[in-house]
Amino acid sequence: MSIQITNISKTFGTFKALQNVSLTVSHGELVALLGPSGCGKTTLLRIIAGLESPDPGSGPVLFYEDDVSSQSVRQRRVGFVFQHYSLFRHMTIFENVAFGLNVRPRRYRLSKSQIRERVFSLLKLVQLERHADLYPSQLSGGQRQRVALVRSLAVEPKILLLDEPFGALDTKVRKELRHWLRRLHDEMSITSVFVTHDQEEALELADRIVVMNAGRIEQIGKPEEVYDNPANPFVFSFLGDVNILRSPFGSQSTQPSATASYIRPHDIEISKTALDTGSIQARILHVAAVGPTVKVELARLDTNESIQAEITRQIYKRLNITVGQMVFISLHNCRIFQ
Partner 1 sequence: MKNKLPWIPIVLTAAALAFLGLFLLLPLAAVFIEAFRKGIGPYFQTFADPYARSAVRLTLLVVLTAVPFNLIFGLAAAWAIAKFDFRGKGLLLTLIDLPFAVSPVVSGLLFVLLFGARGWLGPWLLEHDIKIIFAAPGIIMATMFVTFPFIARELIPLMQSQGTEEEQAAMVLGAGGWQIFRRITLPNIKWGLLYGIILCNARAIGEFGAVSVVSGHIRGQTTTIPLHIEILYNEYNFVGAFAMASLLTLLALLTLAVKSLVEWKTRNEQAAAVIGGIE
Binding site for partner 1 (CB under 8 A): 49, 51, 73-74, 77-80, 82, 84, 86-90, 99-100, 103-104, 135, 137-138, 140-141, 151-152, 154-155
At its nearest, how many Å lie between partner 1 and the CB of residue 160? Answer: 11
- Centroid of chain to Cα 23: 16
Q: How far is the CB of 141 from partner 1 (least distance, A)?
A: 5
- Three-state DSSP state, 32: strand
From the CB of 169, what's the least distance to partner 1, in Å?
A: 9
Q: Considering beta carbons, is residue 49 or 331 the nearer one to partner 1? A: 49
Q: How far is the CB of 265 from partner 1 (least distance, A)?
A: 34
145-167 burial string, b = 16+ CB within 10 Å, else e? bbbbbbbbbbeebbbbbbbbbbe
Contact 227, 202 (CB under 8 A): no
Kindly tell me which of 84 and 222 has the beta carbon lying closer to partner 1. 84
Closest CA to 248 of 272, 271, 280: 280
C-beta of 26 vs 138, nearer to partner 1: 138
Identify which of residues 35 and 142 has a Cβ nearer to partner 1 in the complex.
142
Q: Shortest approach of partner 1 to residue 272 CB, angstroms? A: 50
H/E element, 261: strand 260-263
Q: Tell me how far apart the alpha carbons of residues 205 and 304 are, in angstroms, rounded to a whole number.
A: 39
Q: How far is the CB of 163 from partner 1 (least distance, A)?
A: 10
Give me the least distance between CB of 49 and partner 1, in Å please: 6
Determine the distance from the C-alpha atom of residue 227 to the mean position of all C-alpha atoms in its chain, rounded to a whole number. 12
Listing DSSP states for 75-133 in one string gives HH--EEE-TT----TTS-HHHHHHHHHHTS-GGGPPPHHHHHHHHHHHHHHTT-GGGTT
Query: What are φ and ψ of residue 142, in 5° steps?
Result: -65, -40
Give least dist CB 142 to partner 1, A: 9
Q: Which amino acid is at 251?
A: S
- Under DSSP, the state recorded for 248 is P
Q: For residues 72 and 304, which CB has a smaller minimum distance to partner 1 in the complex? A: 72
Compare residues 109 and 313 and give the one whose CB is closer to partner 1.
Answer: 109
> 217 CB contacts (<8 Å, ≥6 apart)?
21, 22, 23, 210, 211
Nearer to partner 1, 89 or 107 (CB): 89
| Exposed e or buried b per residue across 61-75, where buried means at least 16 C-beta atoms within 10 angstroms of its C-beta | bbbeeeebbeeeeee
Taking the least distance from each CB to partner 1, the nearer of 161 and 226 is 161
